[in-house]
Amino acid sequence: MLITTHPLWPEPETPSLIWVGPAPEIDSDDGMGGTDVPSRHYLPLSFPIQNRSGQEIIEISGASQGEIRPEQPEQDTSTQRAPEAGRLESLQQGSFSSRPPQIDIAILCALTLEADAVESLFDGQWTGGYNRSEGDTNTYTLGIIGRHGVVLVHMPGMGTTYSATVATCCRSTFPRISLALVVGICGGVPFFQDETELLLGDVVISDGLVRYDFARQYPDGCLIKNSVSESARKLPVEILGYLAKLKGINARKNLRERAAEYLTTLSKIHGVMGPSVEEDILFESTYRHRHHPPSSCNICIGKSGELTGMICGVAREASCEDLKCDIGRSVPRKRQWEAGQNLTNLYPAVHFGKFGSGDKVMKSGEDRDRIARSEGIIAFEMEGAGVWDTLPCVIIKGICDYSDSHKDKRWQVYAASTAAACAKAFLEGWRQ
Domains observed in the chain: 86-278+346-428 (3.40.50.1580)
pTM value is 0.74
Q: Cα 14 to chain center, whole Å?
A: 46
For CA atoms 57, 61, 62, 65, give the dihedral sign. Answer: positive
In 3D, which of 191, 203, 180, 130 has the Cα closest to residue 381?
A: 203
Local confidence pLDDT in tens for the 432 residues of the chain: 444 444 444 444 444 444 344 444 444 443 334 444 333 333 333 334 344 444 444 343 333 444 444 344 444 444 444 444 444 444 444 444 433 348 999 999 999 999 999 999 999 988 766 778 999 999 999 999 999 999 999 999 999 999 999 999 999 999 999 999 999 999 999 998 777 899 999 999 999 999 887 666 555 556 666 543 344 678 899 999 999 999 999 999 999 999 999 999 999 998 888 888 888 989 888 888 888 777 778 788 766 666 767 888 887 888 888 778 888 898 989 888 887 776 556 679 999 999 999 998 898 889 999 999 988 999 999 999 999 989 999 999 999 999 988 888 899 999 999 999 999 999 999 998
> Are 401 and 407 spatial neighbours (Cβ–Cβ below 8 Å)?
yes
